[in-house]
Structure 1
């Protein structure tokens, strides 16, 4: 029986990728790094800051990478003031609450970003479990963040469903054994199914999602 829904944050709960792109461009532009859609899609979306800055600034030290990451996340929080939840999210969370299905967040973002984002879109109190990059030794694509969420929820992978928008996130969810929906906020259906998505949806109004949930609820 379905007992939990587990969500990624950026690109899944909210279409925040354009704001992240702006924040990276603001911080890395002076370093001569051009952040366009291709760079964002290939080197940033779904990756940890550690990986992102090691890739984009290979000649800088780890401590410098950490400082760039701190500045980028501060820029993001400053810029991310008018975001809205992805269409249908409220309906889905209400549906889950009415059926005692718990809600969890699994993100490679730092806790400051997670707190800020959940507050901005008004869903902070809806999440029973939150796993951020500070909670785990290894971020996505490692399955550890999802395994940590399952452990905190006290359930098995077969009792939960995941929602992800990036290849690294999808690999993490599938590595943890979760049935996973690929959100098409930044990538194509082919992109997401190629890394393991069981199904793809554009938002939470998708009828295929609702048919699946009702069936899974009574399995």
Structure 2
């Protein structure tokens, strides 16, 4: 962490926004529309996983027969129907504003499909297209593979040592660390102590 910090890469769901409850309900709603009843704790073990990975689990373990494209369309509609229930995390948006004022580049790296990323940007008060994003459609492999973060680094044209990641899931942490990035985890992350820093420590690295 010797290089000055020049950019922040944010995960979106569960990091910038309190959207995981809505994701959970959207899976239940979409599955019900297909005649499937998911266990109550279905979503708990899938936080941070990409849509295609979850679709594969639904097919293998719960009998989903829809194609990925059809399922994604149904699930996206279910999520949008509840979009007003998605709210930003103040501690995240406060830090976003501070980093913006300090002149840092900021981008969003998400395992969610592009449509959900765009809907969430609007909930954050950001215009889609005004912020660099890497969504699941932009890469061949989602988190925990490092490809999404490596793609973001390449687009920024910055070395990993000058960039910090903010995450909330084990999959996101694994992806960022495999890309050689320093990771700050949100306060509600309950993973074991490891090669990551607490979110509160990031304030100390901001310029000014």
| Fold agreement, TM-score > 0.5 | yes
Give structure 1 stretches of 5+ with no counterpart.
none
Helix, strand or coil for the counterpart of 2:78?
helix
| Mapped partners of 1:126, 1:145: distance in 2 | 18
Root-mean-square deviation over aligned CA pairs: 2.2
Deviation of residue 68 (structure 1)? Answer: 1.6
| Mapped partners of 2:192, 2:13: distance in 1 | 15
- Pairwise mapping of residues 9-158 of structure 1 onto structure 2 (< 5 A)? 9-29=12-32, 30-36=34-40, 38-42=41-45, 44-58=46-60, 59-60=63-64, 64-124=67-127, 128-158=131-161
Deviation of residue 110 (structure 1)? Answer: 1.3
Deviation of residue 60 (structure 1)? Answer: 4.5
Is the 2:146–2:179 contact (alpha carbons within 8 Å) kept by the matching residues of 1? yes
| Mapped partners of 1:76, 1:136: distance in 2 | 22
Question: How many residues align structurally?
Answer: 202
Task: Rate the CA distance shift 1:125–1:2 in 2: closer, same or farther, 3 A.
Answer: farther
Task: Rate the CA distance shift 1:142–1:26 in 2: closer, same or farther, 3 A.
Answer: same
Helix, strand or coil for the counterpart of 1:122?
coil
Give structure 2 stretches of 5+ with no counterpart.
none
Task: Rate the CA distance shift 1:93–1:126 in 2: closer, same or farther, 3 A.
Answer: farther
Structure 2 match to 1:193: 193
| Mapped partners of 1:165, 1:89: distance in 2 | 11
| Mapped partners of 2:103, 2:81: distance in 1 | 35
Is the 2:36–2:64 contact (alpha carbons within 8 Å) kept by the matching residues of 1? no
Structure 1 runs of 4+ aligned residues shifted over 6 Å read none
| Mapped partners of 1:126, 1:96: distance in 2 | 19
Task: Rate the CA distance shift 1:127–1:104 in 2: closer, same or farther, 3 A.
Answer: farther
Task: Rate the CA distance shift 1:135–1:126 in 2: closer, same or farther, 3 A.
Answer: closer
Is the 2:153–2:160 contact (alpha carbons within 8 Å) kept by the matching residues of 1? yes
